[in-house]
Each structure stands twice: as structure tokens, then as C-alpha cells.
Amino acid sequence: MRSDEITAAAAGTWTLGDLTVNRMGFGSMRLTANPNRELAITVLRRAVELGVNHIDTAAFYFSPGGILDVGSGQTRYATELIRDALTPYPSDLVITTKVGPGFADDGTFSMASTEAQLRAQVQENLRRLRRDHLDVVNLRIVKRPVPDSIAERFGALVKMRDEGLIRHLGLSNVRVDHLDEAQQIAPVVCVQNGYAIDTNRGDDGLLKICGERGVAFVPFFAIAGPQREAGPAESHSDPVQEIARARGVTPQQVRLAWTLHQGRHVLAIPGTGNPAHLAENIAAGALSLSPTELAQLA
């Protein structure tokens, strides 16, 4: 079967609270790096056509450093691209967003720490996405030496959930103690951390605990690995390359397949601005690795 004939359903499903999503989703961050707005719109629409019903975004995903769109004179926001591409939204589409990082009025980067600041970010997401509520909101933090309580910030989001502005809550860039603290306050449906076959493997334990508690673990940079925002990893381990050659797939697809094999509760959100890469990423959800191959990759 050709890669562009495989849909996101091949990876199976998971539930975020009462919302069922395909385990192969889409991350929108990289869309803002491409000056071709129409191509970004095309990629988003094609993702949905290929069965993606879980899209990750954030209000702070916009053209790098606030750079203006080529030809338009406007900063491009991922949330607005999603809105323009997909409204009216499909009934089964789940949009997960993040609050925490943001920019002050003078344009400097800052982290929201008060209820008022977090509420302003929630309202910005609602406005740019043109929605009356947000499906899932992750509290994104900067990890600091213990203790660094998230109770006040998470509690502020719980209040907004109770007001109907948010449906479900998650966490991003956290440790096990943060998850423990948040779950004492309200249900957590997902944890989103940087994680890959060659990156942040110290989170193996957190991934396992999430599975035991029925919490989705959502790795970002699963393809990029240590290159993070710079894009797809340019070098791969020998086992990754060997399996890719033997299977007739790309190393990136092997990386994604390995990610999904870490547990039924693990969701993938690879991002791209390239339609061909989009199809390849989604097709990786159908790539079943054997115990021998997984042992090689381990």
C-alpha cells in the first residue's frame, strides 16, 4: 500500500478524557516557519483527509521571532492557520493547545504565572481558533530545581475548566512530582514532553507511570530528537538506518514507529510543512516493529 493511502487510524486510538483520537496526530509548530501560507493550509487539510483528528498547537507558535509573513506584512500564527484551514471544524477534531510561555506587551518572552496571565492566554487561543471552548489545554512550565509547585497555575486552569472555557487539562515539560501534584487537584488527560529514541530517555519512567495511570504521553521532537526546533534529525543510529533500509522506509518513519511502540497510551504529533513528509509520517503508524527490531533499537 502506498504511504498516501494509509490513514492515521492505522496507529489505533486513545481517549483524552471523553475525546477519542487517533494515536497519530499532527504538530503545528513547524507550519509557521514556511513563508508559503497556502502550502500550510494545504498540509492541514490533507492531514485531516488522512484521518488526523488530534492537532497540537499553542498561541506562542508563530512565525519565528515575530517575523512578518513574506508578502502579507503580518505575523503568522499556527492557531490562525488551523482556523482558516479547518473551519467549520470536523466534529471529531481535537485541538490541544498550551499556555504558559508568552510574550509581554513590549515583545519580550515571558512565562505566565498568575491567573490573569493564564486567562489572557486562554482567551487568545479561543479568539484565534474562533472557538467557544478549548478541547485540551496543557500547562507548559519551565522545570526548575525542586520544589517548584504548579498548584496555583494548574488550579487557575481548573477554574477556567469549571467555567466551561476548557474541557480537559494536561501538562507539558514536567516531572513525575508535577503530575502527582496536578492529579491531586484535577484529572490530567495527557503529559507532553520532549522525548525521542535518542533524547530525554530519563523520561522513560514518567512514560511508564503515565501508562499505569491511564494518562496519554505525548512526545514532541520524536523525529527531530536533539535538533529540536532546528528540524528533523540529520543523523541516525546504525540500528535505525539498518531497519529503515531493510523495511524500505525512512529513518524518520522508524523513529515514529518506535515512539508508538512504547505504549498504547503514547501519541505521536509529528509536524511538517511538506505534504509528502506528512503522508510518510502518518504511514509510520502502520509500521509494526518486531521484538527483534525493538531489541536492536533499545
| Longest pairwise C-alpha distance within the chain | 54
Residue 225 is predicted with a pLDDT of 52
Tell me the per-residue pLDDT of 101-113, one tens digit each, with 9 for 90 and over. Answer: 987 666 677 899 8
pTM (predicted TM-score): 0.92
* Beta carbons of 122 and 82 less than 8 angstroms apart: no
Q: To the nearest whole percent, how much of the chain has pLDDT over 70?
A: 89
The set of cell numbers assigned to 86 is 479547518
Tell me the per-residue pLDDT of 249-277, one tens digit each, with 9 for 90 and over. Answer: 999 999 999 999 999 999 999 999 999 99
CA distance 171 to 192: 6
**Secondary structure class of 231 (helix, strand, coil):** coil
Active site includes 61? Answer: yes
CA distance 219 to 266: 8
Residue 36 is predicted with a pLDDT of 84
Q: At what angle do helices 251-260 and 238-247 cross, to 10 degrees?
A: 100
Residue 89 is predicted with a pLDDT of 98
**Strand 109-111 vs strand 101-103: parallel, antiparallel, or unpaired?**
antiparallel
Parent domain of 287 = 3-297
Neighbour-count burial for 266-278, b at 16+ CB within 10 Å, e otherwise: bbbbbbbbebebb
In the chain, the amino acid numbered 166 is: I
Q: Of 53-62, 64-73, 153-162, 165-174, which range is least confident? A: 64-73
CATH number, domain with residue 136: 3.20.20.100
**pLDDT above 50 for 65:** no
Residue 67 is predicted with a pLDDT of 41
The catalytic residue among 61, 77, 89, 195 is 61
- In the chain, the number of structural domains is 1
DSSP class of residue 182 equals: H
Residue 182 vs residue 37, higher pLDDT:
182
The set of cell numbers assigned to 123 is 482567551
Residue 11 vs residue 232, higher pLDDT:
11
Residue 65 vs residue 222, higher pLDDT:
222
**pLDDT above 50 for 66:** no
* Beta carbons of 15 and 244 less than 8 angstroms apart: no
DSSP class of residue 69 equals: P
**pLDDT above 80 for 8:** yes
Before 147, cis peptide (omega within 30)? yes
Please compute the mean of the pLDDT values over residues 178-205 and round it to a whole number: 95
**Secondary structure class of 277 (helix, strand, coil):** helix
Nearest of 177, 122, 125, 120 to residue 151 by alpha carbon: 177
